Amino acid sequence: MKLLQSLDTERGVDLNLSLADDLRVPKREIAAEVSFLFNAEQPMECLFYLNLYTPRRSGEESLADFLNSQWSFFPLRERSSREFFIVHVNQVMLVTEALPAPAPAGRSLRLFMQNGAELELRTVEPRHAWRARPIDLLNDEERFVTLSRGDAVLVHVNKRHIARVEGI
């Protein structure tokens, strides 16, 4: 901790305490394309700031961990303007994240979103045999379901905005 002190001969001693650097939590910056409910036709390139650890499992926090956290509001940064803003999780329809390698492809699903959009995606999570059905994936407690587009891209879909699913 650094203590900053400056002397002012007219007023006496002024003591300022700077804890900004000591309280800063290190984060990883991840770029992803976000489709918001208020402007679904024009996805926005945003930066997410993820922790270097996650309380849910060992290792770094993933984008799926971040989106499925208990927080109702979270900060984002627009990639082009570098402006920060705070958004409610229910305003996020889907988040598209590029991967360094293709995700393992599972069962093909067609999602019909409430705004009329149709998505052709595949399941990616390895699941226990008794919980491997797509309906189990869609009915678990997580807010977002993580699926694959098949080309090294993960799509995190907010289940609140799914109207219908085919291929189950």
pLDDT value at residue 24: 74
Q: What is the mean pLDDT of residues 15-43?
A: 81
Q: At 11, phi and psi to the nearest 5?
A: -110, -10
For residue 159, tell me if it sits in a domain: yes
For residue 15, tell me if it sits in a domain: no
- Specify the number of domains making up the chain: 1
The band of 107, judged by pLDDT with boundaries at 50, 70 and 90, is confident
For residue 129, tell me if it sits in a domain: yes
For residue 3, tell me if it sits in a domain: no
Give the DSSP H or E segment for 110.
strand 108-113
Q: Give the list of residues 6+ apart from residue 114 with CB closer than 8 angstroms, or none.
A: 161, 162, 163
Judge whether residue 5 has pLDDT over 70: no
Q: How far is CA 39 from the centre of its chain?
A: 18
Q: Which segment, 18-22, 109-113, 120-124, 125-129, is predicted with the most confidence on average? A: 109-113
pLDDT value at residue 1: 47
For residue 130, tell me if it sits in a domain: yes
105 vs 90, more confident = 90
For residue 5, tell me if it sits in a domain: no
> Percent of the chain beyond pLDDT 90?
55
| Per-residue pLDDT tens digits for 40-71 | 789 999 999 999 888 777 889 999 999 999 99
131 vs 158, more confident = 158
* DSSP string of 13-46, one letter each residue: EEEEEE-HHHHPPPEEEEEEEEEETTEEEEEEEE
Half-sphere exposure of 57 (CA within 13 A, CB side): 7
Residue located via tokens 């927080």: 71
Q: What is the mean pLDDT of residues 128-145?
A: 81
Judge whether residue 128 has pLDDT over 80: no
Q: What is the mean pLDDT of residues 111-122?
A: 94
Judge whether residue 14 has pLDDT over 60: no
Strand order in the sheet with 108-113: 84-88, 73-78, 39-51, 27-36, 92-98, 153-158, 144-148, 118-123, 108-113, 162-166
Judge whether residue 84 has pLDDT over 50: yes
For residue 75, tell me if it sits in a domain: yes
Write out the residue range of the structural domain in which residue 104 sits: 21-166
For residue 68, tell me if it sits in a domain: yes
